[in-house]
Amino acid sequence: MRIDLTAREEKPRLMIIPMIDIIFFLLVFFMMSMLTMVVQKSVPLTLPQASTAKVSMVENIPVTVTADGAVYYEQEKMSLADLEDRLWKQKQQGEVSIILRGDASADYGKVVQVMDMIKNLGITKVYIATDTKG
């Protein structure tokens, strides 16, 4: 009887399950880190809270009313007449969607005045920005 003392070489096996786990982890990591890199083209302020607030992924034009009553188009401070001209020109180029961002301590009348001006231009897609309660 002959005894074989040579070691048998097994073919290396490719373990795909750990690789899938690592790729999934990297995918989730990069998706979560991209959420913090979203650029807001507007003035920082404290938004009022609402339980039905949602995040929209459609590009919108931010119009901001600060606590002291200043009106901003993106980050540019302007008067209501200048804002009306800017939005009219924007509407002539195509469909316009506005996010009206009013500080929680802003004068309610000023926010309504801006909203009324936007509606008078015939812009129907006007959203009011809020924070979620939590």
Residue 120 has pLDDT above 60, yes or no: yes
DSSP state at residue 94: S
CA–CA separation, 22 vs 109, rounded Å? 54
Q: How many helices (H) and strands (E) does the chain have?
A: 3, 7
Give the predicted TM-score (pTM) of the model: 0.56
pLDDT tens track for 23-74: 999 999 988 888 777 666 666 767 677 776 665 544 678 888 888 888 898 8
Fold annotation for 49-132: Nucleotidyltransferase; domain 5 (3.30.420)
DSSP secondary structure of 19-44 = HHHHHHHHHHHHHHHHHTTPPP-S--
